[in-house]
Structure 1
Amino acid sequence: MKFRFRQLLVALLLLPAVVSAQAVKYPYQNTKLTFKTRVADLVKRMTLEEKVSQMLNSSPAIPRLGIPAYDWWNEVLHGVARTPYKVTVYPQAIAMAATFDRSSLFTMADYSALEGRAVHNKAVQQGRANERYMGLTYWTPNINIFRDPRWGRGQETYGEDPYLTAIMGNSFVRGLQGDDPKYLKAAACAKHYAVHSGPEPLRHVFNTDVSNYDLWDTYLPAFKKLVTESNVEGVMCAYNAFRTQPCCGSDVLMVDILRNQWGFKGYVTSDCWGIDDFFKNHKTHTNAETASADAVLHGTDVECGTDAYLSLVAAVKNGRLSEKDIDASVTRLFMTRFKLGMFDPVSMVKYAQTPASVLESAEHKAHALKMARQSITMLKNQGNTLPLKKTIKKIAVIGPNADNGIAILGNYNGTPTDRVTVLQGIKAKLPNAEIIYEKAINFTNDTLLDYRDVSGQYSIDGHPGFKAEYFNNVELKGTPVVKTEAEVNHFWQEGEAIGNGIKATNFSARYSTNYKAGNEGFITFEIDGDDGWRFLVDGKEVLNIWTRNRWGAQQYKLVTEPGKSYKLELEYWQGDGKANIRMSAGTYKKTDFAALTERIKDADAIVYVGGISPQLEGEEMKVPYPGFDGGDRTSIMLPKVQTELMKAFKGTGKPVVFVMMTGSAVAIPWEAENVPAIVNAWYAGQSAGTAVADVLFGDYNPAGRLPVTFYKGDSDLPDFNDYTMTNRTYRYFTGTPLYGFGYGLSYTTFKYDAVTAPSIVKKGNKMVVTVTVTNTGKMAGEEVAQLYLTYNNNAQKTPIKALKGFNRISLKAGERKMVTFTVSPSDLSLPDANGKITPLKGKFTVSVGGSQPDEKNVTTGNIVKKTVTMM
Structure 2
Amino acid sequence: MINTIAFAQNKAKLPLYKNAKAPVESRIKDLLSRMTVEEKVGQISMPLGWPMYTKNGNEVEVSEAFKKSLKEEYTGMLWATLRADPWTKKTLANGLNPELAARATNAIQKYAIENTRLGIPVLLSEEAPHGHMAIGTTVFPTSIGQGSTFDPELIQKMAAAIAEETRLQGGHVGYGPVLDLAREPRWSRVEETYGEDQVLNSRMGEAMVKGFQGKNINSGVNVVATLKHFAAYGAPEGGHNGSSINVGLRSLHQFYLPPFKAAVKAGALSVMTAYNSIDGIPCSSNEMLLNDILRKDWGFKGFVVSDLNSISGLKANHHIAESGAEAAEMSINAGLDADLSGFGYGKALLTAIQSGKVSSQVLDTAVSRVLRIKFNMGLFENPYVNPELAKQKVRSAEKVALARQVARESIILLKNQDKLLPLSKSLKNLAVIGPNADQFYNQIGDYSAPQSVGNVVTVLQGIKNKLGDNTKITYVKGCAIRDTTSSNIEEAVSAAKKADAVVIVLGGSSARDFKTEYIETGAAKIQTGGNQLSDMESGEGYDRATLDLLGDQIKLLKAVVKTGKPVVLVLIKGRPLNLNWAAEHVPAILDAWYPGQEGGNAIADVIFGDYNPAGRLPISVPKSVGQLPVYYNARYPEKHDYIEMDAKPLYSFGYGLSYTTFDYQNLKIKYENGLATVNFDLKNTGSLDGEEVVQLYLKMKTSSVVLPTKQLKQFKRIALKAGERKNLTFVLNQNDLEIYNAQMKWAVEAGEYSVMVSSSSDQVRLEGKFKIEK
TM (normalized to structure 1)? 0.74
Does 1:670 find its partner at 2:572? no
Per-residue CA distance 1:604-637 (angstroms, 9 max, x = gap): 0111100111138997323335995941111112
1:417-496 alignment to 2 at 5 Å? Answer: 418-432=455-469, 433-448=471-486
Q: Show CA shifts across 1:78-121 (max 9, x none).
A: 1111x24x11111111101100001000000111111112111x
Query: Counterpart in 2 of 1:621?
Result: 524
Structure 2: which amino acid aligns with 1:110?
A
Amino acid of the structure 1 residue aligned with 2:21: K
**Distance between the aligned counterparts of 2:618 and 2:119, measured in 1?**
44
Which of 828, 833, 841 is the matching residue for 2:750?
Answer: 841
Deviation at 1:323, TM superposition (A): 1.2
- Residues 778-789 of structure 1: matches in 2 within 5 Å? 778-789=687-698
SS class of match (2:613): coil
**Are the structure 2 counterparts of residues 243 and 795 from structure 1 closer, same or farther at C-alpha, using a change threshold of 3 Å?**
closer
Q: Give the equivalent residue in structure 1 for 2:159.
A: 109
CA positional deviation for 1:654 = 0.4
Deviation track 1:775-804 (CA, whole Å, cap 9, x = no partner) reads 110001111111111221165311111111
Distance 1:329 1:606 in 2: 59
Which residue of structure 1 lines up, in the alignment, with residue 663 of structure 2?
Answer: 751
Query: Which amino acid letter does the alignment assign opposite residue 707 of structure 1?
Result: P
Change (3 A) 1:673 1:334: same
- Unaligned 5+ residue runs, structure 2? 1-9, 48-74, 77-111, 530-535, 640-646
Shift in alpha-carbon separation, 1:613–1:279, aligned structure 2, 3 A: same
The alpha-carbon distance between structure 1 residues 825 and 794, as it changes in their structure 2 partners (threshold 3 A), is closer
Describe the superposition over 1:675-714 as per-residue Cα deviations: whole angstroms up to 9, x where unpaired: 0000001101110000001100111100000000011111
Question: Deviation at 1:235?
Answer: 0.5
C-alpha spacing 1:793/1:318, structure 2 compared with 1 (3 Å): same
1:730, 1:740 within 8 Å by CA — same for their partners in 2?
A: no
Identity value in percent: 38
1:716 equivalent to 2:627? Answer yes
| TM-aligned CA deviation for residue 818 of structure 1 | 2.1
From 740, 746, 754, the equivalent of 2:652 is 740
User: Taking structure 1 as reference, are residues 353 and 598 closer, same or farther at Cα in structure 2, changes over 3 Å only?
Assistant: closer
**Structure 2 equivalent of residue 70 of structure 1:** 122
1:317 aligns with 2:354: yes
**In the alignment, what sits opposite 1:869?**
771
Stretch of structure 1 that moved more, 204-213 or 430-439: 204-213
Name the SS of the counterpart of 1:116 in structure 2.
helix
Equivalent residue in structure 2 for 1:39, among 15, 28, 35: 28
Name the amino acid aligned to 2:457: V
Judged with a 3 Å threshold, the aligned counterparts in structure 2 of structure 1 residues 832 and 795 are, in CA distance, closer, same or farther, namely: closer
Match of 1:331 in 2: 368
| 1:241 corresponding residue in structure 2 | 277
Q: Secondary structure at the match of 1:289?
A: helix
For residues 446 and 417 of structure 2, what CA distance do their matches in structure 1 show?
Answer: 33
Residue equivalent to 1:5: none
Instruction: Indicate conservation of the 8 Å contact 1:783/1:808, yes or no.
Output: yes
Unaligned runs of 5+ in 1: 1-20, 121-134, 449-589, 719-726, 856-861
- 1:645 is aligned to 556
- Counterpart of 2:480, as a letter, is N
In structure 2, what is the equivalent of residue 52 of structure 1?
Answer: 41
Map Cα deviations across residues 436-468 of structure 1 (whole Å, 9 max, x no partner). 1111111135322xxxxxxxxxxxxxxxxxxxx
State the alpha-carbon separation in 1 of the partners of residues 417 and 13 from structure 2. 72
Query: 1:726-745: CA deviations, max 9, x gaps?
Result: x5444447321111100000
1:806 aligns to what SS in structure 2? strand
Q: Which amino acid aligns with 1:217?
A: Q
8 Å Cα contact 1:151-1:200 kept in structure 2: no
Q: 1:114 to 1:426 in 2, by over 3 A?
A: same
Normalising by the residue count of structure 2, what TM-score does the alignment of the two structures yield? 0.83
Q: Following the alignment from structure 2 to structure 1, what is the Cα–Cα distance between the partners of residues 524 and 227?
A: 23
Partners of 1:730 and 1:713 in 2: CA distance: 18
Mapped to 2, the partners of 1:235 and 1:651 lie a distance apart of: 51
Q: How far apart are 1:167 and its partner, in Å? A: 0.6
Residues 252 and 352 of structure 1: CA distance in aligned 2, closer, same or farther (over 3 Å): farther
Whichever structure has more helix as a proportion of its residues is 2
- State the AA in 2 paired with 1:753: Q
What CA distance in whole angstroms lies between the structure 1 residues aligned with 2:692 and 2:269? 34
Task: Give deviations 1:471-524, integer Å, cap 9, x for gaps.
Answer: xxxxxxxxxxxxxxxxxxxxxxxxxxxxxxxxxxxxxxxxxxxxxxxxxxxxxx
* Aligned-pair CA distance for 1:24: 6.5
Partners of 2:184 and 2:261 in 1: CA distance: 22
Structure 1 residues 244 and 353 mapped into 2: Cα distance closer, same or farther (>3 Å)? farther
Q: Which amino acid aligns with 1:745?
A: L
The 3 A distance-change label for structure 1 pair 773 and 643 is: same
Counterpart Cα distance in 1 of 2:372 and 2:480: 50
Q: 2:234 aligns with which of 166, 183, 197?
A: 197
Give me the whole-angstrom Cα distance separating, in 2, the residues matched to 1:23 and 1:428.
Answer: 65
Q: CA 1:779 to 1:668, structure 2 compared with 1: closer, same or farther past 3 Å?
A: same
- 1:158 — aligned with what? 194
Residue 633 (str. 1) matches residue 535 (str. 2)? no
- Which one-letter code corresponds to 1:285 in the other structure? A
Q: Distance in 2 between matches of 1:640 and 1:314?
A: 52
Q: In the alignment, which of 601, 607, 613 is matched to residue 690 of structure 1? A: 601
Question: Could you say if the C-alpha distance between residues 151 and 833 of structure 1 is closer, same or farther in structure 2, counting changes exceeding 3 Å?
Answer: farther
Is the radius of gyration larger for structure 1 or structure 2? 1
Find 1:373's aligned residue among 408, 415, 420. Answer: 408
1:695-706 equivalence runs, <5 A: 695-706=606-617
Alpha-carbon distance, 1:306 to partner? 3.7
Contact 1:604 1:655 in 2 (8 A): yes
One-letter code of the match for 1:747? Y
1:93 correspondence with 2:137 = no
Residue type at the aligned position of 2:555: E
The 1:688–1:804 alpha-carbon spacing in structure 2 relative to 1, beyond 3 Å, is same
Choose between structure 1 and 2: higher strand proportion. Answer: 1
After superposing the two structures, state which structure 1 stretch, 821-830 or 680-689, moved more. 821-830
For residues 833 and 663 of structure 1, do their structure 2 counterparts lie closer, same or farther at Cα, with a shift above 3 Å needed?
Answer: farther
- Give, in angstroms, the shift of residue 844 of structure 1: 1.5
3-state SS of the aligned residue for 1:50?
helix
How far 1:746 moved relative to its partner?
0.4
User: In the TM superposition, what whole-angstrom CA distance separates every residue of 1:368-400 from its partner, at most 9, and x where no partner exists?
Assistant: 101110000000000011111000011111111
- Structure 1 residues 202 and 160, CA, compared in 2 at 3 Å: closer, same or farther? closer
Contact kept in structure 1, 2:181 and 2:235, CA below 8 Å: no
Residue 27 in 1 paired to residue 16 in 2? yes
Are the equivalent residues in 2 in contact too, given 1:786–1:848 (CA < 8 A)?
Answer: yes
In structure 1, what residue type is equivalent to 2:696?
A: L
Is the 2:121–2:380 Cα contact (8 Å) retained in structure 1? Answer: no
Q: What SS does the corresponding residue of 1:74 show, helix, strand or coil? A: strand
Letter in structure 2 aligned against 1:338? F
Per the alignment, in what secondary structure is the counterpart of residue 140 of structure 1? strand
Q: Deviations over 1:231-262 (max 9, x none)?
A: 10001011122222221111321222112222
Q: 1:209 & 1:22 partners in 2: Cα distance?
A: 58
Alignment correspondent of 2:98: none
Q: What aligned pairs does 1:275-290 form with structure 2 within 5 A after superposition? A: 275-290=311-326
1:20-53 Cα deviation digits (max 9, x unpaired): x988621111111111111111111101111011
Cα pair 2:184 2:239 within 8 Å, conserved: no
**CA-based RMSD:** 2.6
Structure 2 distance, partners of 1:248, 1:202, is 20
**Deviation at residue 660 of structure 1 after TM alignment:** 0.5
CA contact 1:199–1:632 (8 Å) conserved in 2: no
Q: Secondary structure at the match of 2:709?
A: coil
Of 382, 385, 405, the residue aligned with 2:440 is 405
Decide whether the 8 Å contact of 2:631 with 2:653 is kept in 1: no
For 2:417, the aligned partner's letter is Q
The alpha-carbon deviation at position 199 of structure 1 amounts to 4.8
